């Protein structure tokens, strides 16, 4: 799950809709829609998505668009399987994908008659002739208007990230970080290793560390190693030098210095105190 300032994001979406009459939605990395404005899709899409086969095609169309958007640093504009025009852009930090913002359910003016006929045939074939009138309520936009909306989408996606409107939750970040550290406690752990695990770029990882940890990544890892050493001193009879190596300190003198800085005493005195 993403950590989202929903009030701020919804306000942005409402403003975008007021200016363009185009729906906007935020999706997470697993392609699940999280928040949108308007909250409900257009009547045509909302009704047809209740049909299992059609819904599967919609989700497949969205997934393809999300995947293809990875190739672009600007919104990817395309026609969905029904013929409606949409645009999607990744929310990324360096090479880290946090989610996607999509705008759509628009009829392109240059193909409006063709698209409306196609949508009508879809409704009739599905036994939903009662919603034919809703097709005329879908926004019709010129190519220039669609590109302009996409340009605004690009700016909004950058603002959403820089303003921290969308972030990975603190608990998820720390839990995943701790799990990785303790799984590799005896090994050298690099920022590169963590970037691969989180699928984050270094810049984004450093930014989250500054916000959530109040420490540098290196300091946090070292503190977690000392924390594990304290547990071993308390719960085992393992020799202190072996503990130092086990928690990732190849230099015993460095371990001793870090341990004292962290606890205010040396490891031997700490073990005596907790026995």
94 pLDDT above the threshold of 70: no
- Cβ-Cβ contacts under 8 Å for 113 (sequence gap 6 or more): none
One domain for residues 133 and 159: yes
Residue 154 and residue 39 share a domain? yes
Q: Is the domain of 213 the same as that of 252?
A: yes
Q: Is 159 in the same domain as 191? A: no
Residue 61: pLDDT band with limits 50, 70, 90: very high
Q: What is the pLDDT of residues 10-36, one digit of tens each?
A: 999 999 999 999 999 999 988 999 999
Domain check: are 11 and 93 in the same one?
Answer: yes
Mean pLDDT, the chain, rounded, equals: 92
* Confidence label for 169 from pLDDT (cuts 50, 70 and 90): confident
Mean pLDDT value across residues 70-75? 84
Which of residues 167, 191, 217 is at a domain's end?
Answer: 167
Query: Do 189 and 97 lie in a common domain?
Result: no
pLDDT over 70 (residue 257): yes
User: Which residues, listed in sequence order, are joined to residue 79 by a DSSP beta bridge?
Assistant: 85
Which of 29-43, 93-107, 181-195, 212-226 bottoms out in mean pLDDT, i.e. has the lowest? Answer: 93-107
Mean pLDDT across 153-182: 87
pLDDT at residue 210 tops 90: no
Domain boundary pick from 167, 194, 215: 167
- The pLDDT of 155-173, averaged and rounded, is 84
Query: Do both 12 and 138 map to the same domain?
Result: yes
Domain tally for the chain? 2
Residues 64 and 82 placed together within one structural domain of the fold: yes
- What is the C-alpha to C-alpha distance for residues 226 and 270, in angstroms, rounded to an integer? 12
pLDDT band at 47 (very low <50, low <70, confident <90, very high): very high
90 and 194 belong to one structural domain = no
CATH number assigned to the domain comprising residue 222 = 1.10.10.60
- What pLDDT score does 18 carry? 97
Q: Which pLDDT score, from 0 to 100, does residue 137 have?
A: 95
**Domain end position, chosen among 135, 167, 199:** 167
Query: Are 109 and 26 members of one domain?
Result: yes
The answer, as to whether pTM is greater than 0.85, is: no
According to DSSP, residue 59 is labeled H
Q: What is the CATH number of the domain that holds 89?
A: 3.30.450
Span 235-263, mean pLDDT? 95
The pLDDT of residue 52: 85
Give yes or no: residues 145 and 185 share one domain: no
| 200 and 84 fall within a common domain | no
For residue 1, is pLDDT > 70?
Answer: no
Tell me the H-state helices in the chain.
6-20, 43-48, 52-69, 112-125, 143-162, 170-183, 191-198, 202-212, 217-235, 240-246, 252-263, 267-274
pLDDT at 180: 93
* Average of per-residue pLDDT across 156-173: 83
Provide the domain limits for residue 162. 3-167
Compute the C-alpha angle 151/108/10, nearest 5°.
Answer: 45
User: Which pLDDT band holds residue 62 (cuts at 50, 70, 90)?
Assistant: very high
pLDDT band at 158 (very low <50, low <70, confident <90, very high): confident
d(CA 54, CA 20): 27
């Amino acid at each position: 799950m993403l950590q989202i300032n929903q009030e701020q994001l919804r306000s942005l979406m409402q403003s975008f809709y007021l200016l363009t009459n185009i729906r906007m939605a935020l999706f997470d990395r697993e392609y699940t829609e999280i928040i949108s404005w308007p909250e409900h899709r257009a009547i045509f899409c909302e009704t047809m998505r209740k049909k299992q086969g059609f819904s599967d095609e919609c989700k497949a169309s969205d997934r393809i668009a999300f995947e293809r958007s990875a190739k672009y640093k600007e919104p990817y504009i395309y026609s969905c399987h029904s013929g409606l025009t949409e645009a999607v852009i990744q929310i990324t930090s360096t090479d880290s994908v946090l989610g996607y913002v999509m705008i759509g359910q628009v009829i392109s003016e240059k193909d409006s008659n063709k698209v409306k006929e196609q949508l009508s045939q879809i409704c009739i074939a599905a036994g939903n002739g009662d919603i034919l009138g809703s097709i005329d309520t879908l926004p019709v936009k010129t190519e220039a208007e669609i590109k302009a909306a996409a340009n605004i989408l690009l700016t909004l996606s950058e603002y959403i990230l820089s303003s921290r409107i969308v972030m990975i939750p603190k608990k998820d970040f720390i839990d995943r970080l701790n799990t990785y550290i303790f799984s590799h406690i005896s090994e050298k752990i690099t920022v590169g290793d963590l970037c691969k695990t989180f699928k984050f770029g270094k810049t984004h990882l450093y930014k989250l560390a500054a916000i959530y940890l109040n420490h540098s990544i290196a300091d946090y890892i070292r503190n977690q190693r000392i924390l594990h050493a304290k547990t071993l001193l308390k719960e085992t009879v393992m020799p202190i030098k072996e503990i130092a190596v086990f928690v990732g300190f190849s230099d015993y003198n460095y371990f001793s210095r870090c341990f004292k800085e962290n606890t205010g005493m040396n490891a031997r005195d700490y073990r005596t105190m907790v026995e």
